[in-house]
Amino acid sequence: MKDTITGIIDVGSKPIVSREAVATGLLHLSSASLDVVANGRSPKGDVREASTVAVIQAVKETPRTLPHCHPIPIEGCTVDWSIEKDSLRCTVTVRTHWTTGVEMEALCGVNAGLLCAWDMLKSVEKDTNGQYPVAQIDGVRVLKKSKGDPHD
């Protein structure tokens, strides 16, 4: 029996249209870490600023991480951070005019941003045994994706 494994899906015949995806996720943190984020006191620098750079890099490099994703001309990427009750929320919006969507780029961005924040807060989050009893990434999902008309 022979299995055919598809490489990259051919999207060449699809029309170029405006596309947007919004993804979000949470990094649950201790109150001490949330205070560090809110007041910019991480020994590694501003958590939201550095993590925003990680988001942008991940969005642009998604095809290098996910082998079936097409290189897409990213036209815009916005990153929003908010401190919630016990979490840091990252929301990423990615825009393009292309033949395929950008939801994987938005999801990669959210994950990279949250991982970067966690990395920058390790010294605060670790307990006396070097474990992370509170830190947890949760709720990463696509909030919205849209596809416009070919004349946009």
**Domain ranges (residues) in the chain:** 17-147
* Inter-CA distances, 30 with 27, 102, 132, 140, Å: 10, 32, 10, 19
The type of residue at 47 is V
Could you tell me if 104 and 118 are in contact, meaning their C-beta atoms sit under 8 angstroms apart? no
pLDDT, tens digit, for every residue of 20-54?
999 999 999 999 999 999 998 888 999 999 999 99
Q: Can you give the pLDDT at residue 63? A: 96
CATH topology of domain 17-147: Alpha-Beta Plaits (3.30.70)
Q: Can you give the pLDDT at residue 5? A: 66
Instruction: Assess whether pLDDT exceeds 70 at residue 1.
Output: no
Instruction: Assess whether pLDDT exceeds 90 at residue 3.
Output: no
Residue written as tokens 């509170």? 134
Catalytic residue set? 119
**From CA 139, how far away is CA 88, in angstroms rounded?**
12
pTM of the model: 0.92
Instruction: Assess whether pLDDT exceeds 60 at residue 152.
Output: no
> CA torsion 11→14→17→19, rounded to 10°?
-40
Q: Tell the burial category of 94 from Cβ atoms under 10 Å away from its Cβ (0-12, 13-18, 19+).
A: buried
pLDDT, tens digit, for every residue of 74-131?
999 999 999 999 999 999 999 999 999 999 999 999 999 999 999 999 999 999 999 9
